[in-house]
A and B are shown apart, each in its own frame.
Chain A
């Protein structure tokens, strides 16, 4: 039963995408939403099995390693799968409300979008280095296709730049995979971890792999492609990129670092990655503060928020791991809400310039409320999921007397509060009146609000989430 359910997580969206190619846009949209609604139903038995019996392993086609491919559903993978499924469903409703079926965008979006979800789901389930490469490449191509469904040439050029960098990053990852396979004779994440000997070769392979993945996850200083790509993507696509796609490569970083590189001395590298994260938090937040366009502001906020994940490497404790997983999920919901609200505001005003949106608090109250509520989670105010994530990171830093890390976490939250309040203030009290306002469809506004509310509600539903995460902590974590 769980085997079929796991296979369904990938094949249901995949088949929906294929069939959607043959249908007119409106029918394709309905079909895709039905298929994505099926994903949580399939996740439920898998979750029960993992909750009671530990990680579920599936040898595809009955072939085990080294020739076959193994899927592995453990608590970390499951939490990412659940988060992807819920965000995908709400974003699809938003897309249905906004992509006009008669346009080229409307036709191109629906077949591509569930295929991206199939690729992301397959990535979270993969347990070997090469399968991760294949799915990572699929996720990249799927994301680039979605950026280029529109007709703006700015988006097209941003998509091309992203594609070239992402392909280079994949080759770095593949080169590292070749080195690790050469030394260990296996591609299995866990077996390779046991056989990998500490030395120059392992260190070089790990460095190449992490560099490639950080480039894909837009971690400072490899973030330069993200704001243009995420800030110029059409309609709901920015939300998909910022909430879901960058998380996929970060997930592989966590997997490789805490499950495969267990026998390698990574202390100095961990501190280095933590420092990069700290710079990302401060730089990204400050850059967000001075942006002129709402979508660019949100994109820079993503650069900053991804930095928090990097703090896990130097802190490396149970509290930090819980905090980072909660942060990943809460940020995903909140950031999707922000981008959807921004898409609605952009559509209503015809632009997203911050200095010309005064008065939208009257005309687009739900969208502004969604943005502000998501902002509560992004800046880490209680009782949101974002607060819990940052609080646990603070706790982990406190336990290690990491005063520097603590200062960065607090400062990042303060600057985040500044850029969220700046948007709110400019839309209520600024001098640049918004001109013509076309009120968006209620469904479009409601999906943004729902995502923001989930980000807040995570703060209340944290107990089962942490209970699940605690069943699959990486080996060798400090308490």
Chain B
């Protein structure tokens, strides 16, 4: 297997595990970890795919991944803050079904 294929297969596997975790996990923190795994998989793929094109590292792809990491950090921080609020208000850490019609 070429080195590119190793990265691509690894990225696909990690992305898949992330999607599975996001859907199956009950605890919101686990869902957030799963989302971050999906993000990492995309970043690996981006660097791997662009690096192999010309035989030397592609600065554009690296800049994109860096930006992507910043966005992922910000989004995760915000989601965690929201989770803390929900836990503080309701004492729950899951999003289980409940009627959405109380005023």
Q: Which residues of A are interface residues toward B (Cβ below 8 A)?
A: 66-67, 130, 133-134, 137, 141, 144-145, 148, 151, 153-154, 156-161, 163-164, 167-168, 171, 174-175, 178-179, 181-182, 185, 187, 227-228, 231-232, 292-293, 296, 350-352
Cβ < 8 Å to A, chain B residues 62-94? 63-64, 67-68, 71, 74-75, 78-79, 82-83, 85-86, 89-90
Closest beta carbon of chain B to A449's beta carbon, Å: 25
Contact of B45 among A67, A175, A232 (CB under 8 A): A175
Which residues of B are in contact with A by a Cβ distance under 8 Å?
A: 15, 18-19, 22, 28, 31-32, 35, 38-39, 41-42, 45-46, 49-50, 53, 59-61, 63-64, 67-68, 71, 74-75, 78-79, 82-83, 85-86, 89-90, 95, 98, 100-103
Q: How far is the CA of A415 from the CA of B6 in the complex (A)?
A: 54
How far, in Å, is B75 (CB) from chain A's closest CB? 6
Partner of A163, one of B45, B53, B82: B82
Query: What would be 11 A-B contacts, judged by CB atoms less than 8 Å apart?
Result: A67-B59, A137-B71, A161-B95, A164-B35, A164-B95, A167-B75, A171-B15, A175-B15, A175-B42, A182-B45, A232-B100
User: Sorted from nearest, which 10 A-B pairs have the closest CB atoms?
Assistant: A182-B49, A178-B46, A153-B89, A171-B38, A228-B100, A153-B90, A175-B42, A174-B42, A178-B45, A351-B103
Q: Which chain B positions have C-beta within 8 A of A167?
A: 35, 75, 79
Looking at the assembled complex, report how far the CB atom of A419 sits from the nearest CB atom of chain B, in whole angstroms.
17
The answer to whether A293 and B82 have CB atoms under 8 Å apart is: no
Residues of chain A contacted by B41 (CB below 8 angstroms) = 175
User: Does B67 lie within 8 Å of A134, measured CB to CB?
Assistant: yes
Main secondary structure of the interface of A (DSSP, over half): helix
In the assembled complex, which residues on chain A have CB atoms less than 8 Å from the CB atom of B32?
A: 164
What's the minimum C-beta distance from B29 to chain A, rounded to whole angstroms?
A: 11
User: Chain B contacts of A67 at CB under 8 A?
Assistant: 59-60, 63
The answer to whether B79 and A163 touch across the interface, beta carbons within 8 angstroms, is yes
Contact A156:B45 (CB < 8 A) given known A167-B35, A181-B61, A185-B53? no
Measured CB to CB, the nearest residue on chain A to B90 is: A153
- Chain A residues contacting B63 (CB-CB under 8 Å) are 67
Cα-based distance from A144 to B79 in the complex (angstroms): 9
Cα distance, A134 to B28, chains bound together (Å): 24
Expressed in whole angstroms, the minimum distance between the Cβ of B51 and any Cβ of chain A is 10
Contacts of A182 in B (CB 8 A): 45-46, 49-50, 53
Query: A406 → chain B, closest Cβ, in Å?
Result: 35
Q: How far is the CB of A142 from chain B (nearest CB, A)?
A: 10
Residues of chain A with a CB closer than 8 A to B75's CB: 137, 141, 163, 167
Quick one: which of A168, A185, A228, A292 contacts B19, CB cutoff 8 A? A168
A168–B86 CA distance with the chains assembled, in angstroms: 20
Q: A167-B79, A232-B100 are in contact. Are A160 and B28 (CB under 8 A)?
A: yes
From known contacts A160-B28, A174-B68, A182-B49, infer whether A141 and B74 are also in contact, taking CB-CB under 8 Å. yes
B46 close to A181 (CB less than 8 A)? yes
